[in-house]
Chain A
Amino acid sequence: MRTPASRLALAWIVLITLVAAFAPLLASSRPLSLAIDAAGPRHSPLLESLDPLDWTLALAAPLLIGWCLLGGPRRVAGRAALASLLLALGVGAASIVQGLTPRPPEVFGDETRAAHLDLAPRWTLVPFSPAERSTDAPDSFLPPGTRTVTATLSAILPAAPELSDSASLSPERLAQLTQSLRSLPLTPSERDALERDLAARITPGAALTHSDLRAIVEHHTAALGRVHILGTDARGHDVASHLIHGCRVAVSVGIIAAAISTIIGVSVGAAAGFMGGAADALLSRVIDAFASIPVLFVLVIAAGVLPRQPHVIMAVIGCLTWTGCARLTRAAVIAVRSSEYVLAARAAGAGPFARVTRHVLPNALAPVIIDVSFSLAAAIVIESGLSFLGLTDPGSPSWGSLLASAVKDTGSPVWWLAFAPGLVLFLTCLSYNTLGEALRDTLDPRSRRHA
């Protein structure tokens, strides 16, 4: 925990986890708050739309992260393990509750936003929901920095070749364009203002050019638009929003898959190492059998047979990747179980379960804690690989599916679709691995440089 690299890694992981926990508050088309009547309390469509999973994550994650970091360097690993376990349990419970009460996604598009503009709305940082498709250009890529209403305007006021910007508009053409401007997402008051402005300019005798019209309309719609800061994908989804909600899948797949694999691995490894003899031989063969299963093939088959839900993938990854952890635990338990303090605990009358949980495991878990960090990174990579191959739920945003859409939907790669998710995935895996190395230096005396 002492090198700058490991501090950066820890900071990145904390950031990713917080982004994942607060994803709906960071990226959503719903307003954070609205003043329905000026004197009354503000009303928040966003908070009302949060489901049990969102609440669990938003409340539990910051508390648990704070608790882990406040423990100081000596306790951070143990607390992080416990916190991840609690978080995994909470997320699991909330996912079940959520699965029982499905709610249709309600999209707050530009028109609805416009209708709420009089209510003094406050918007989120990235004002797009991941499921929302751009109404401007539903089936084409928009590069980073595109503003939504500008795109709508471009559709309404096409830069037709016969209409040079300086050419005056014919009255028929002007009437036709004014008619189609009605479809702009504007508040009633804005619409009145725009129409008044246009009426003032459209006087008999005065020539109105195409660019004049455009300038007027852009002036009145400036407050409205939303910027796709990282562009959109082929189906018009906002990349930034996808990336933020993709953190959720990545972090929760990492934590839950690693928690499942660690629980299975530690239980099997501790049982094998502590009992020894025939039980050890049997459990070791079970570990060998599971270690020989090719994980990716089983996951591809599972994607075909089981429902393509994130928690199914988490469970399958967790149930397939516990063998390394089991072997580590078994070896460490064998080394510790013959310690005199374990014998002393036995002589004091402690039963086998108390000896394993109180005396053997706390002294044997250092290599396992290190391993957890690496298996978190591995689980995230496996999940990204699956969604890159299109084997996950297409409705749930994921870094891998963004990467896939960078090459799949067009003949040529689209750089903004590959760059951001690729960078985030790379930094996350790098951070978990760096953290694992730092934990090894801290916890494993054999690799400590300053003994």
Chain B
Amino acid sequence: MTTAATAPEPPATTRPAAPLLEIRDLAVSFRREQGGFEPAVSHVSLTLHANQTLAVVGESGSGKSVTALSVLRLLPESHSRYDKGSIILTPGDAPQDVLTLGRRALARVRGRHAAMIFQEPMTSLNPVYSIGDQIIEAITLHTDLDHAQARRRAADALTEVGIRDAASRLDDYPHQFSGGMRQRVMIAMALACQPRILLADEPTTALDVTVQAQILALLRQLQRSRGMGVLLITHALGVVAEQADAVCVMYAGRVVEFGPVRDLFENPLHPYTRGLLRSIPRIRERRERLVTVRDVVDDPSQFAPVGPADAPLVPWWPAHRPPAGHTPVPGPAGDSALVEIAPRRWLCVWRTTSVRPRMLTQPAVPPTQR
């Protein structure tokens, strides 16, 4: 068991090769109307390797999208501030920190090294241009292809995402496509320049279930055939279980838990992760009403601290009411830190003054359920 130093090491999950994307201790804040800044995410660290799908789960407002948008620095510049941390992309040999890139270098990274697809396929295509124009624009932004070559490549990209008769459909406008087809077009557009990283911000939320399954299968197939790293933002834990290799659980602007998908589902360490998994309705159970995360979250103050006796750790939780004998104090990185608590398992913790080390995996009090 290791405790992180003041600058926490990036959590490494599975593969020893240099990760495609490495976010280290990122903190972003938004400008408030009244003046000053409101922190949106803080202490976010994660890694994404080639050939890997990393799912980021969490409720609305937990900072998933802010994290994904930060990777391409897409947050509105006048209203946001990158307070600290770094976002290292290693598409080739040379790692570059997105947060220190100049405008031109940033434009070269966007779409070329990392591309993004969005939640609403209905509104993420420009209604006034044919989809061919839009894919060709994405291609010519990053290559020297002439129009005819770019058009051929656009047709190939459409074929690759499973749109039949691609060459003639290039001249169709977005309103002539269904939602699922539009999301395929978005994927074709994003992948037209062969990026190594694909950021998918809830790509299937706006689609119905059968189409969701098709789009997810398509993403998985493309990820495998190209060896891409996919950062998949989602609400659906079912999608995570099927699709992802690693999971990053976010809550209140922090990564609270991070680890391989099987380990994390079988043995969730953080109270929020446990609540999240428990709130999934099961077919066999009859209930008057569905449980919410907050109904079933374990009281974090009941978690016994772990770690060395002089610096025991408890899971980080906002508005933590410590039990008798525990006084949470700021952790190694200021107020909380992401710590590798077991091999390849990272957990957001606080230091406490408690001196009773116990196994973290056992909550002191069984969860109350209604």
Chain A residues within CB distance 8 Å of chain B: 275-277, 339-341, 343-351, 358-359, 362-363
- Tell me which residues across on chain A come within 8 A of B108, comparing CB atoms: 349
Most chain B CB within a 10 A radius of its CB, from A275, A343, A344: A344
Q: Determine the residue in chain B with the shortest Cβ distance to A275.
A: B78
In contact, B127 and A347 (Cβ under 8 angstroms):
no
Report B108-126 CB contacts with A as 1/0, cut-off 8 Å.
1111100111111001111
- Tell me which residues across on chain A come within 8 A of B72, comparing CB atoms: 346-347
A250 vs B116: C-alpha distance when bound (angstroms): 52
- Tell me which residues across on chain B come within 8 A of A341, comparing CB atoms: 123-127
Please give the number of chain B residues whose Cβ is less than 8 angstroms from any Cβ of chain A in the complex. 30
In chain B, residues 222-261, which have Cβ atoms closer than 8 Å to a Cβ of chain A? none
Closest CB in chain A relative to B192 CB, distance in Å: 9
In contact, A344 and B141 (Cβ under 8 angstroms):
no
In contact, A340 and B107 (Cβ under 8 angstroms):
no
A347 vs B195: C-alpha distance when bound (angstroms): 12
- Given A346-B74, A348-B110, A340 and B128 contact (CB-CB distance below 8 Å): no
In contact, B141 and A340 (Cβ under 8 angstroms):
no
- Tell me which residues across on chain A come within 8 A of B186, comparing CB atoms: 344
Most chain B CB within a 10 A radius of its CB, from A277, A341, A345, A347: A347
Most chain A CB within a 10 A radius of its CB, from B110, B112, B189: B110
Interface assignment of B137: CB less than 8 Å from any CB of chain A: yes
Report B134-173 CB contacts with A as 1/0, cut-off 8 Å.
0001100110000000000000000000000000000000
Most chain B CB within a 10 A radius of its CB, from A339, A346, A350, A358: A346
- With beta carbons under 8 angstroms apart, the residue of B78, B111, B117 that contacts A349 is B111
Closest CB in chain B relative to A72 CB, distance in Å: 15
A341 vs B123: C-alpha distance when bound (angstroms): 6
- Tell me which residues across on chain B come within 8 A of A348, comparing CB atoms: 110-111, 115, 137-138, 141, 189-190
- Tell me which residues across on chain B come within 8 A of A343, comparing CB atoms: 74, 118, 124
- Given A340-B123, A363-B128, A347 and B115 contact (CB-CB distance below 8 Å): yes
- With beta carbons under 8 angstroms apart, the residue of B103, B107, B118 that contacts A344 is B118
A347 vs B126: C-alpha distance when bound (angstroms): 14
- Tell me which residues across on chain A come within 8 A of B74, comparing CB atoms: 343, 346-347
In contact, A362 and B128 (Cβ under 8 angstroms):
yes
17 intermolecular pairs with C-beta atoms under 8 Å apart: A275-B78, A344-B116, A344-B117, A344-B189, A347-B72, A347-B116, A348-B110, A348-B111, A348-B189, A349-B107, A351-B103, A358-B137, A359-B126, A362-B128, A363-B126, A363-B127, A363-B128
- Tell me which residues across on chain B come within 8 A of A275, comparing CB atoms: 78
- With beta carbons under 8 angstroms apart, the residue of B110, B129, B137 that contacts A347 is B110
- Given A340-B123, A348-B137, A363-B127, A276 and B118 contact (CB-CB distance below 8 Å): no
- Tell me which residues across on chain A come within 8 A of B115, comparing CB atoms: 347-348
Given contacts A347-B74, A347-B115, A348-B110, 20 further A-B contacts (CB under 8 A): A340-B119, A341-B123, A341-B125, A343-B118, A343-B124, A344-B124, A344-B189, A346-B74, A346-B110, A347-B72, A347-B190, A348-B115, A349-B108, A349-B110, A349-B142, A350-B137, A358-B129, A362-B128, A363-B126, A363-B127
Q: Determine the residue in chain A with the shortest Cβ distance to B126.
A: A341
In contact, A345 and B126 (Cβ under 8 angstroms):
yes
